[in-house]
Amino acid sequence: MCGIVGYIGTEQAAPILLDGLDKLEYRGYDSAGMAVYDGEKLQYAKARGRLKILRELTHDGAKLPGVCGIGHTRWATHGVPSDKNAHPHFNEAESIAVVHNGIIENYLKLKKMLAGKGYKFASETDTEVIAHLLDYYYKGDPMEAITKMMHRVEGSYALGILFRDHPGELYAVRKDSPLIAGRSAHGCLIASDVPAILKYTRDVYFIQNEEIVRMTDQELAFFTIDQDPIEKQATTIEWDVSAAEKAGYEHFMLKEIYEQPRAVLDTLNPRIREDRIEIEELGMTDEEIRAVKRLYIVACGSAYHTGVTAKYVFEGLARIPVEVDLASEFRYRNPILDEGTMVIVVSQSGETADTLAALRMAKEAGVRVLGIVNVVGSSIAREADNVMYTWAGPEIAVATTKAYSTQLIAEYLLAMRFAKARGTVTEEELAGMLLDLRRLPQQIELLLDHKEKLQRFANRYVAAKDVFFIGRGLDYAISLEGSLKLKEISYIHSEAYAAGELKHGTISLIEDGTLVAAVLTQEDLYKKTISNMVEVKTRGAFLLAVTNEGNTAVEKAADYVIYIPQTNKYFTNSLAVIPLQLFGYYVALGKGCDVDKPRNLAKSVTVE
């Protein structure tokens, strides 16, 4: 959530800041602003609303001349979205400027202390406390003021800081909110995420907790909170700049839906060698795998939904008990993390605040933690005992598609690896599953080739008020994701239910014309789910069915059927999700919604 960009160098800063903020729009925001040192003072502009308003206000940056600046896209947490609450924030003399991602948990206590010393506040934000606290401690040495501030504030923060009295320097600080730095041929940069600076450099430095960066136009220097110098190695970003561009697609979401065959293949290929599953990054022997008595899969949002799927796959194949937890619940429910427990945390960004907190809690309890993440060098990747990358490439749209699909693949592979080590599947069964896994990319392409039929169907439900998704077993897991995709980008009320629960209250919501999407990919549950479909149809529902090729019996109950290719029963969600993603996309498109940046949502939820 929120986005930070900073630049110091030989070129005009404001256009670079605007370009970087544009690449961070996917993180979600309600206002934007910049501060640039013009040779005499810190000039700034900020405005509520989309980045284009800030562009117009500054004439694409021309009205803020200078070669050193910081920029920000704000997601409101403390104080309503407004010009005065937008970042940057300043001390009273406007000689110190701050942009901030995160939440200062003790800001009220600090605000009271500072107010008692005569400081006046111009905004409702927690961030302004930082600017005044820096002013309180500043005696000519920025590093001293920053370190003293860090010792006083509690919470999470990534900061970009300018001191008017030190015009050739830009400072950055990080604690529990993502921050990177890089050096280009024309200066140095900071940002919340790689896309913001990839145009200028491929070599980035990942800032660790409680580290400080001091930047000049030619040098990056890193320090601990005690001001001790740190030697850091840059990470080279391999993916191409075009991966973060739309490449002719109307939206990033549609582009990323179409990138799923390649993303799935890229996640599979490094782990399948000569018809064997080899997950070197797991770092576990067969004996260590057999010693695991219980798995927890912990995640948020769509990543949590992959965990619901993975529970069925792990328990079915490896015969190991699995609990799936929302990270925001897991971290507060005092889970039993005893010997033989292993925790798998799943996150696209690797920075999800609740998931990261769950990871740290598990490590404190002394259990092994595996991270499944998409972003190399992210916090979860660094802090987990082992990390399994999904290789989806950059995902810009807020609503995840290809990251979800690659998380499923990683979990399938892990379940199969556990099953082999535990002796719960035969070599013949594993060979058959590997064959089905390798077919998935081509089968996904086949489903994408028929998007026009789904688009025509989706156009009929642009005005829908309520949509319900039902399924049993693995089909319930995919119903959760289908429902989330629709609601988060189209703003249509949508819910997913285990089909067997309909009679326990939910069926009272069905009325004439209500759309019910039924998923039937588990052959042994066909008849049960068809019975549930008939129940809602007799009450006036219109039935959309997603099922396997050959299950023509469903046509007696369904009004519209989408068939997916045959695959192993544990892998069907990788195919069933494709039409559900497209359905959500086309309904949102028909309603005129901002598909890539849905209201009130952010790509990476880095605050609690």
Out of 2, 68, 188, 300, pick the active-site residue. 2
The amino acid occupying position 550 is G
What is the assigned CATH class of domain 451-593? alpha beta
Name the strand (E) or helix (H) holding 248.
Answer: none
* Cα–Cα distance for residue pair 61/51, rounded to 1 Å: 12
Q: Which burial class, exposed, middle or buried, applies to 476 when counting CB atoms under 10 A from its CB (0-12, 13-18, 19+)?
A: buried
* Among 271, 476, 305, 269, CA closest to 404: 305
In angstroms, the CA 191 to CA 213 distance is 12
Q: What is the CATH number of domain 242-449?
A: 3.40.50.10490
Model pLDDT, residue 78? 74
The Cα–Cα gap between 266 and 413 comes to 13
Nearest to 136 by CA among 160, 112, 114, 151: 114
Per annotation, catalytic residue among 311, 487, 569, 603: 603
CA distances from 537 to 85, 467, 475, 542 (A): 51, 14, 19, 6
pLDDT mean for each 10 residues of the chain (608 residues): 89 94 77 92 91 91 95 81 90 95 90 94 92 96 96 91 95 90 94 86 90 94 94 81 68 92 92 87 94 96 96 97 95 90 94 91 95 87 92 87 96 97 95 95 94 87 90 95 95 92 79 91 92 89 93 91 96 96 94 85 57
- What is the CA 7 to chain-centroid distance, rounded? 25
Cis peptide before 261 (omega within 30 of 0): no
Question: N- to C-terminal Cα distance for the chain?
Answer: 11
CA angle centred on 353, ends 347 and 355, rounded to 5°:
45
Both tokens of residue 401? Answer: 């598609």
The token pair at 70 is 């910081």
Strand order in the sheet with 203-206: 42-48, 31-37, 68-74, 3-9, 187-191, 180-184, 203-206, 235-236
Give start and end residues of each alpha helix (H) in 341-469.
353-364, 379-383, 402-422, 427-448, 451-459
Pairing of strands 386-389, 493-498: unpaired
pLDDT of 608 reads 52
Within 13 Å and on the Cβ side, how many CA atoms surround 574?
A: 35
Name the CA radius of gyration of the chain, rounded: 25
Same fold, 242-449 and 451-593: yes
Stated length of the chain: 608
Contact (Cβ atoms closer than 8 angstroms) between residue 585 and residue 453 = no
CA distance 337 to 329: 15
Query: Can 2 be counted among the known catalytic residues?
Result: yes
Helix (H) or strand (E) holding 163: strand 155-163
Cα separation, 417 vs 414, whole angstroms: 5
Give the SS3 label for residue 28: coil
Residue 175 near residue 241 (C-beta atoms within 8 A)? no
453 in catalytic set: no
CATH code matching the domain that covers 3-237, chosen among 3.60.20.10, 3.30.390.50, 3.40.47.10, 2.60.290.11: 3.60.20.10
Owner of token pair 């001293």: 144
Q: What is the 3-state secondary structure (H, E, C) of 112-155?
A: HHHHHCCCCCCCCCCHHHHHHHHHHHCCCCHHHHHHHHHHHCCE
Half-sphere exposure of 560 (CA within 13 A, CB side): 17
**In sequence order, what are the residues at sequence separation of 6 or more whose Cβ sits closer than 8 angstroms to the Cβ of residue 371?**
344, 345, 346, 347, 350, 359, 380, 381, 383, 384, 386, 387, 388
Q: Which residues pair with 211 in a beta bridge?
A: 174, 224
Say how far apart CA 172 and CA 223 lie, in whole Å: 10
Compute the CA torsion angle 49, 52, 53, 56 (nearest 10 deg).
180
- 467 touches 483 (CB < 8 A): yes
Please tell me whether residue 101 adopts helix, strand or coil conformation.
strand
What region does 339 belong to: left with phi over 0, alpha with psi -120 to 50, or beta? beta
Q: Where are the domains of the chain?
A: 3-237, 242-449, 451-593
Cα–Cα distance between 54 and 56 in angstroms, integer? 5
